[in-house]
Amino acid sequence: MEEKNFKLIISFLGKDFYGWQKQKNKKTIQEEIESACKKIFNKEIKIIGCGRTDSKASGINYIANLKVKTNLNSLNIKNGLNSYLPNSIYIKDVKEVEKDFHSRYSAKRKTYRYIISLKKTPFLTDLAYFIKDKIDIEKMKKASLLFIGKHDFKSFQSSGSNVKNTIREIYKITIKKKKFFIDEDVELIIIDIEGSGFLYKMVRNIIGTLIYVGKGKIGLEEVYKIIESKNRKLAPPPVPAKGLYFKNAKY
């Protein structure tokens, strides 16, 4: 029987999990899916994810892959996994791909989304970050342009990472306002950040800085100085993980 490589597109609600990556004595997305795989294939299967996610962060189109010798097809695997997984995790698609496809190392770009609620609502508890202060979205848009391109993002890497190369490239940041479809009295700010890759809590730290600009706490010149300083202590605090979503990856 020949080994096959399957690409998975996964959506998950992260509020009850300690992120994607398997950890001892902690509930994670990877562990849940590997447990479901064991029931389907009757053996241990390692799921390769496209990257770590923060505790409580969610996924819209998170990419993973698994290699296994099986006669099951993509639809069999998708249906089988979804039958064992909790409601907070859903396999959107399974597709057989080339043997050398690697969900992490083959990725060219990744996009994260962050959702801010400008009015309190029970419908977005644990799903968005509520800000009661007035916020200037146009100032945020201007500040976001300073992050575009290849930079040393050391000022935006939180402690707890051993990564030494802190140079990353941001391709695009979009910031827009939208009405919340359930309650149109609630206005949302949706921020998408697309980059070559991200340091530990980098997205949350960048958005924390953009919010400080939007609130008028710091100006564009200060943002520029924070980036150039490569000093985490000079940057504003990160936003909570509950508003963070892994949106997609491009290959």
Catalytic residue (one of 54, 126, 183, 192):
54
Q: Within the chain, where are the H helices? A: 29-41, 74-84, 137-144, 202-214, 220-229
Determine the length of the chain: 251
Contact 54, 15 (CB under 8 A): no
**What is the three-class DSSP state of 182?**
coil
Q: Which of 186, 29, 205 is nearest to 112 (CA)?
A: 205
Q: Let me know if 54 is a catalytic residue.
A: yes
Up-side HSE of residue 154: CA atoms within 13 Å toward CB?
11
Q: Catalytic residue numbers?
A: 54
